[in-house]
Amino acid sequence: MTKQQYDYLIVGAGLFGAVFAREARIAGKSVLIIDKRDHKGGNIYCENVAGINVHKYGAHIFHTSNQRVWDYVNQFVSFNRYVNSPVANYRNKLYNLPFNMNTFYQLWGVTTPAEAKAKIEEQRAPYRQTEPQNLEEQALYLGGKDLYETLIKGYTEKQWGRPATQIPSFIIKRLPFRFTFDNNYFDDLYQGIPHGGYNALIDGLLEGIEVRTGVNFFENREAWEALAGKVLYTGKIDEFFGKCLGELEYRSLHFETEVLDCENYQGNAVINYTEAEVPWTRIIEHKHFEFGKQEKTVITREFPHEFSKDNEPYYPINDARNNAMLAEYKVLAAKPENAAKYLFGGRLADYRYYDMDDTVEAALALTDQVFGG
């Protein structure tokens, strides 16, 4: 019989698990973290290529207005002054994002907020008489034809793998229009990239904590569970319960990364490709996240596709069917025999799209509940 050696076994060495582990250790608990990947950090892991921190699982920009979250992460790293200002490429013409006065000038040549508002109202007018039933109708209702066809339709259909007429309208609840010449994508008070990349943040959180990578929890589950009094599970909740209530759906991504023998490929960290004919949704040039001056550059093309067991789950499909199934799994997790042993948290266990600040906030909320705030 395996002897209990730890207070907590944490399955998953991503940001949620790392924050919980740190707070558990401060509370005097012994912790072991395991992860099936060969590295710590989950999806915020960075790989050093040609002296550049490459965001291996897609672009990550830390942003928050939550003072507690910002103060918390700044215990471990300092952040640079990076501001997310993506650009959209549609048939070799460039448009600023989010929709702002630069975008409206690029689309229509308008130069004042009054002109921009009048043009948007003119564009919306033909679509205001019907209640939107799908994403296409919702986008036309909110912004009109030019914005929809240039900057929304192709990108969204690639992202979700289906026509916009088959995507629920709630995906675009609103279109944020900014009537200033401000290209900052986020409205949050704080924003930046950790000096040294996200590995520095994870290393700070996990300092002094035992982590074993390359370990699949499900291959020897009983033995791993026997090592600890409680288990925090941050993976897919349906997988934890053997998919006994059904399989939750996701969209996935794959990445094609290459080193280029030039100093600067596209002049921006993120450029979205919004036309349907281009198979990728965006190109990331990683050095611009940290204002790199290296002689070479590294770019990554991002391709969305259906999820399967051979790739990573990225975006939950939070439609009525999947949300109903999730609710049933949460009932199962809350049963006394499960609640006594297991905790669940993170984007996969919660089946929610989390930004990094959401992840930290949710992890701290759980530690407040378990260890006292």
Q: What percent of the chain has pLDDT over 70?
A: 99
Active site residues: 174, 178, 251, 282, 302, 353, 355
- The set of residues, in sequence order, having a beta carbon less than 8 Å from that of 356 and lying 6+ positions away, is 15, 44, 60, 62, 64
Arithmetic mean of pLDDT over the chain? 96
Report the range of poorest mean pLDDT among 82-91, 125-134, 156-165. Answer: 125-134
Domains in the chain, CATH or no CATH each: 6-83+190-247+317-371 (3.40.50.720), 98-172 (no CATH)
Q: Taking the model in full, what pTM does it have? A: 0.94
- The set of residues, in sequence order, having a beta carbon less than 8 Å from that of 220 and lying 6+ positions away, is none
- Residue 318 pLDDT: 86
Closest CA to 224 of 348, 345, 346, 342: 342
- 345 to 114, 186, 360: CA distances (angstroms): 46, 25, 11
pLDDT in tens, 310-350: 888 999 988 889 999 999 999 999 999 999 999 999 999 99
- 312 to 37, 173, 308, 364: CA distances (angstroms): 11, 27, 8, 25
More confidently predicted of 358 and 176: 358
- Residue 1 pLDDT: 39
Both tokens of 128, joined, read 């205001």
Q: Which helix (H) or strand (E) holds 116?
A: helix 113-124
In this prediction, residue 373 has a pLDDT band, given cuts at 50, 70 and 90, of: low
- Cis amide leading into 98 (omega within 30): yes
In this prediction, residue 309 has a pLDDT band, given cuts at 50, 70 and 90, of: confident
pLDDT in tens, 245-268: 999 999 999 999 999 999 999 999
Helix (H, G, I), strand (E, B) or coil at 230: strand
- Residue 308 pLDDT: 83
- One-letter amino acid at 147 equals L
- Residue 2 pLDDT: 60
Task: Give the residue-averaged pLDDT of 190-218.
Answer: 97
Is the pLDDT score of 235 beyond 80? yes
Task: Give the residue-averaged pLDDT of 134-154.
Answer: 96
In this prediction, residue 168 has a pLDDT band, given cuts at 50, 70 and 90, of: confident
- Residue 267 pLDDT: 98
Is the pLDDT score of 288 beyond 50? yes
Task: Give the residue-averaged pLDDT of 45-49.
Answer: 97
